[in-house]
Structure 1
Amino acid sequence: MIILILNCLTIFVLLVLSIFSLRRFLFALTAVFTRIDCETIIPEAFRPFVTILVPCHNEETVIAETLDALLKMDYPRDKLEIVVIDDLSSDHTLKIAQRYEKEYSHIHAFQRSKSALARGKAAAMNEALTKFTKGEIVYFVDADHRVRPDALIRLVGHFSNREIGAVSGRCRPWNKYDAIISSYVYLESLIHHRVTMYASDKLGLAPCILGSNFCIRRALLDRIGRFNEKSLTEDMDLTASVYEHSYIVKYDVTSISEHEAPHNVRSYMLQHLRWNRGFNQTVRTHWRRILRDKSMPLPRRIEETLVSLGYLDRLFFITGFVLTLLSLFIMPSYRFPYWVWPIFLGLPLFQILIALILERERMNIYLRLPLILSMFSVDILVSLTALYQDITQKPTRWYKTLRIGDRATTEKEDLITQGRK
């Protein structure tokens, strides 16, 4: 009986890992054999008014650089308003924003109401959206992101197609050599943006909306009901809602925003723990509606489900590893097919090498690969912790991701009682 149960579990684990492996292989080939469209066609007359929202909480070390980058964008200033949303910062974030507001007429420093019940990024953006209503397109930029001059205009160009509801650009860490964990985050980001998101868009599947450097139609955002303030990952929740309203999400790899990656393991784990639980939450909230939505092509519905289940492949990997150990050392009568491991381990490595080659990375990052890949154990630990917390229904605690140069803070000051980045 035990052998039968183990064999059934083995088949299920192999099936799931095979699906994710096939997806990786397909995306890697697509990234290699398709051409990047460097020139987004933007009709001369198509310059919609854009509202840029920059949510902040204690971002005095980075907000000035972010605003300087936004001021250099290749987009008519008379078609822009930039709103810095201060979520009751305890540092000088608001004062810095107000200094820019005095100098530039299209920049607004908006401080949230102290009486607002909900806190966090989603609630802050929702409150700002009730005050600033001019933009036909809304562009979201995190406070630590430095957008390139052409980032916005490349995204806006896609909205000349009325079927497109939202467009995401690429987010690239600039501090990849600060620490091994920073290099690991860079590698994660490179694979996600240069291979997975890019290929998903090229294949007409379901690229997701990212938390920064993305645009959405204001009318669609209002129809959806704006951001879900109860979601741990408001961007993933918004992605599912956009598809449910029969709009397309596009990804433009040429629209680039640079940001700071976590530079210590603690920051990485806290950030990814929230993302992991947020993905699980999105699955529970949306997967039935996604799979039953006949207006969405079946491949897109399947891909949207796989995206939401993205962190679960780590858990199946661990399950397969445990079954292998069981077969080798405890139950010789049970046989796990060991030959699958070169495939399941080789394809992620193949994807990594493809991404590095396409990016034309220097040898430094290749030399760091053995140490970088060792950080996968941290990723596994985060997935297991998230699963445990979901099963035990442990309340989620949000922590602000510390930046390089942030003033020393106590854990109590870091702890955010509502969702933040």
Structure 2
Amino acid sequence: MFLFLTLYFQIFLLVSFFEKKKGVRKTEPSAITYLTTTIIVPCYNEESTVTRTVNSLLELEYPKDKLTIIIVDDGSTDTTWRVLQQYKDIPRVRLLQKNNEGSKFSALNFALQHVGTELVGVLDSDSWVKADALKNYMEFFDDESVMATIPSMVIAEPDSTLRHAQKAEYDIGLFARKSFAKLNAIYITPGPFSVFRKYVFDTLGPYQEAHHTEDAEIALRMQKHGYKIAYSEKSVVYTVGPKHLKPLIKQRVRWIYGFLRNMFDYRELLFKKKYRSLGLLVLPLGIFRIFITVVLFPLSMWLLFLPLWRWYEKLSLVGFNPTWSWNIDWFFVNVTQLQIFALIGVIFSIMTVWMGRELIGDRRKFTIDIFYMFFMYTFIAPLWLIKSSYNAVIARKENWR
């Protein structure tokens, strides 16, 4: 049943992906309306990365008189503030400093008090943008019903097995965002370069702590009030994922915990026709897939390895040596319906990686990243899903860092 629902969901997204694009018209470069924009860069102990982040904003292909950059040092204990002084004499850059309060949302709200432009965006201080990213947003903001736009997030320069796995995962995310956008079902506005109309915060209020996932909460709040969130596949932002296992699990536990707790806070979105695909399909299936993984992972591992062990024991009795032959006569291989569904799921996953890369013009359609991703999601992802689900049930708070 779980595999069937997963396949149904993947096929549903696939159909949505190829559906004719509606509601957004292509804008000629000469006809672009550049709205006044402020980009907030919250940073905490980012002495080694913040320069690249800010420089990418200064290099944006956007009118200088319409772009303001606010950098908030959120109580850093390293040399971040000293590093930021190189920008103090640039008129369109404003440096702010505050005491750390344990979560990013307070830094964002502190900066929002100094924003007077039509648009306001966020860029995490470990991320950087392509030069045309903000300009590409403008064709979406030509539509007055669009209240926010999110980018294509890409893992940059992966240098470890886990980062390679995350790269393929993020590439699948590009495909998912494209499909969700067509369904008006985007439920997260990620920290790396989401841009909003200032009107959103003027009417709905500032960021909330939201279980350290303020980027998900504000998106759910917008969906609750019928505010449209668009996706610009041409607006590419680069980020770096955790290099080692411990910080990766910590990050994902916080993400999944925040998703589950925010879903409890916004449970009125679920199973309501008013919210269409978001409330009837996308959010319920997201919760269901977490629940099923938590329940079935221990059982599936047992069912997987027990027959293999018994099979090995039987072959050992007749002198089987695993080193001398791996020839398989496929005529005698018994393929079950479960295995067929699993194989189709793998094929769909590979296809979504390809299509995600196609969206951003990445010609490397098939790389080793895909195999790393399958390993991560088979054996590692269930660990953070189980831990975050447990923490969500007992309401154990997750630390931001």
TM bin (shorter chain): 0.7 to 0.9
Q: Distance in 2 between matches of 1:67 and 1:81?
A: 11
Letter of the structure 1 residue corresponding to residue 344 of structure 2: G
| One-letter amino acid of the structure 1 residue matched with residue 279 of structure 2 | R
Helix, strand or coil for the counterpart of 1:231? helix
- 1:362 deviates by 3.6
Return the letter of the residue paired with 1:390.
Answer: A
* Other-structure match for 1:339: 337
Q: Which amino acid aligns with 1:108?
A: R
Secondary structure of 1:119's partner?
coil
Q: Name the SS of the counterpart of 1:200 in structure 2.
A: helix
> Which stretch of the first structure deviates more once superposed, 285-294 or 118-127?
285-294
Indicate the residue corresponding to 2:349 in structure 1: 351
Report the structure number with the largest CA radius of gyration.
Answer: 2
Contact 1:55/1:125, CA 8 A, preserved across alignment: yes
Partner residue of 1:201? 181
The question of whether the paired residues in 1 share the 8 Å contact of 2:165 and 2:369 is answered with no
Percent identity over the alignment?
20
SS of the aligned residue for 1:210 comes to coil
TM-score (norm 2): 0.82
How far off its partner does 1:242 sit? 0.6
Seen in structure 2, the aligned counterparts of structure 1 residues 320 and 225 have a Cα distance that, compared at 3 Å, is: farther
Whether 1:94 aligns to 2:94 is no
Q: 1:142 to 1:368 in 2, by over 3 A?
A: closer
Could you tell which deviates more after superposition, 35-44 or 264-273? Answer: 35-44
**Could you list the per-position Cα deviations for residues 391-413 of structure 1 after superposition, in whole angstroms to 9, with x for gaps in the alignment?**
333332232xxxxxxxxxxxxxx
- Alpha carbons of structure 1 residues 372 and 43: separation in structure 2 relative to 1, 3 Å: same
- Cα gap change, 1:324/1:43 in structure 2, threshold over 3 Å: closer, same or farther? farther
For residues 238-253 of structure 1, the aligned pairs below 5 Å read: 238-253=218-233
Residues in 2 aligned to 1:42 and 1:123: alpha-carbon distance in whole angstroms: 37
**Partner Cα separation in structure 1 for residue 214 and residue 182 of structure 2:** 24
Task: Look up the match of 2:153.
Answer: 171
Code of the residue aligned with 2:79 in structure 1: it is H
Task: Give the number of equivalent residue pairs.
Answer: 368
Distance 1:382 1:141, change over 3 A: same
CA distance in 2, matches of 1:111, 1:345: 52
Give the match's secondary structure for 2:266.
helix
Question: Are residue 374 (structure 1) and residue 375 (structure 2) matched?
Answer: yes
Give the AA of the match of 1:107.
V
**Alpha-carbon shift at residue 353 of structure 1 (Å):** 3.5
Instruction: Could you tell me which runs of 5 or more consecutive residues in structure 2 were left unpaired when the two chains were aligned.
Output: 309-334
Query: What runs of 5+ residues in structure 1 fail to find an aligned partner?
Result: 1-13, 330-336, 400-421
Quote the offset at 1:319 in angstroms: 6.8
Once residues 172 and 20 of structure 2 are traced to their aligned partners in structure 1, the CA distance between those partners, rounded to angstroms, is 16
Q: Give matches, 1:2-401, under 5 Å.
A: 14=1, 16-31=2-17, 40=27, 44=31, 46-102=33-89, 104-112=90-98, 114=99, 118-130=101-113, 132-176=114-158, 178-193=159-174, 195-206=175-186, 208-292=188-272, 294=274, 296=275, 298-306=276-284, 309=287, 311-312=290-291, 314-315=293-294, 317-318=296-297, 321=300, 339-356=337-354, 359=357, 361-362=363-364, 366-367=367-368, 369-376=370-377, 377-399=379-401
Q: 1:283 to 1:354 in 2, by over 3 A?
A: closer
TM-score calculated relative to the size of structure 1: 0.79
What root-mean-square deviation, in Å, do the aligned CA atoms of Structure 1 and Structure 2 show? 3.0
AA partner of residue 67 (structure 1)? V
